Structure 1
């Protein structure tokens, strides 16, 4: 890919000024990766966009690949938190669970569209780079495990149909992921709000029994 491979994650700087410089580099990289893609963005470009010297870039990061890995991990954590903010165990008993499911789906699509360029970059690298593929697989597994936990709790509480919990978690995750990817890539022209409503209805009726 034109730059050396780096797997280590640099420690967070202790001084406020250093942390600010590092964050400027991260934000500059996000902007350029979004706009130009991975291959057409160099470490020098990122340093220039951040307003720092190339030497300063290499104080915090070994190369652009390491930086992109760090950005991927950060955005994955951010997406996970936003998606499951309205889907915690206590929410399973909410009288308007369908609304909470809809919000989680909307958060997924909105967050991924916010960084659509980065998601496209990662999608391209998945078939080229084993570390990105492994990280992506771990992110998918984490989300499926959380869904499995929630559906299992709901099942034990008598809130669901008699379903295969593991299969339900996989199917729910897959359909939301696939639809969200269509909006990220721009290949879907169907009204987004209607699609979110349809997904919310489908998942709610597939997993949960009507409330008495």
Structure 2
């Protein structure tokens, strides 16, 4: 964990060592997770989290300073899981592989559920905003490096600015899950992957990559 993430979580009032105390703390985490998703962060109180976990409000404050610290504990080590995936361009059918990545990303987001809480929190929590922004830069750099390698192999459009292309890919990928949730159709992942790949590859290159992938799997 980075120093910045340490600051976001902060020092806990008490870290349980006995199993029964750990169970109470875990129950509070599970309760907060469920309530944040169902009610929203601002509408959820520490008292409600405690009641839903079956413990007294004082027990909540024994383990957490406030509901923010509980939420940061839920987000700990999960920041990158909430951000768009890194595509692979060089091997196989990039469209099919990206569609699989986007679908896996959507499943991961829905399992965590915390992406629904972030928008309201980011507006009021500069510290968390900085951490998310830094994580996005890391993913941007990895995607950009992958595009550079593909460009050096002569696979991408020659006249595109790779930095702008990278941010465009991230934006489309980041919103893929919301589009699928709205339409209820997982096939949307394939359509979004198709759009992204057409931004990256000229038609003849994309067709060649797809054909080579089919030939390798026969």
- Pick the TM interval, shorter chain: 0.7 to 0.9
Q: 1:168 aligns with which of 165, 168, 188?
A: 165
| Residue 34 (structure 2) aligns with | 31
How far apart, in 2, do the equivalents of 1:54 and 1:113 lie?
Answer: 29
Structure 2 runs not aligned, ≥5 long: 1-6, 213-218
Q: 2:146 aligns with which of 105, 127, 150?
A: 150
TM-score (norm 2): 0.73
Q: Write the distance in 2 (CA, Å) between the matches of 1:182 and 1:10.
A: 38
Once the two structures are superposed, residues 31-84 of structure 1 have per-residue CA deviations (whole angstroms, 9 ceiling, x without a partner) of 01111112221112212222344333223321001222332344423345x934
Q: Is the 8 A contact 2:99 2:193 kept in 1?
A: yes
Partner of 1:129: 125
Partner SS for 1:93: coil
8 Å contact from structure 2 (residues 8, 128) kept in 1:
no
The Cα RMSD (Å) is 3.0
| More displaced 10-residue stretch of structure 1: 147-156 or 195-204 | 147-156
Bigger radius of gyration? 2
Confirm or deny: 8 A CA contact 2:180 2:189 kept in the other structure: no
Q: SS in structure 1 opposite 2:166?
A: helix
Deviation at 1:158, TM superposition (A): 3.4
CA contact (8 A) 1:144 1:170 kept: yes
Q: Return the alpha-carbon distance in structure 1 between the equivalents of residues 36 and 48 of structure 2.
A: 10
TM-score, normalised on structure 1?
0.75
Unaligned runs of 5+ in 1: 1-5
Kept in 2, the 8 Å contact 1:43–1:57? The answer is yes
| d(CA) in 1 for partners of 2:151, 2:76 | 31
Q: List aligned pairs for 1:54-203, cutoff 5 A.
A: 54-80=57-83, 83-84=85-86, 87=87, 91-116=88-113, 118-162=114-158, 163-183=160-180, 188-189=182-183, 192-203=185-196
**Is the 8 Å Cα contact of residues 140 and 170 (structure 2) preserved in structure 1?**
yes
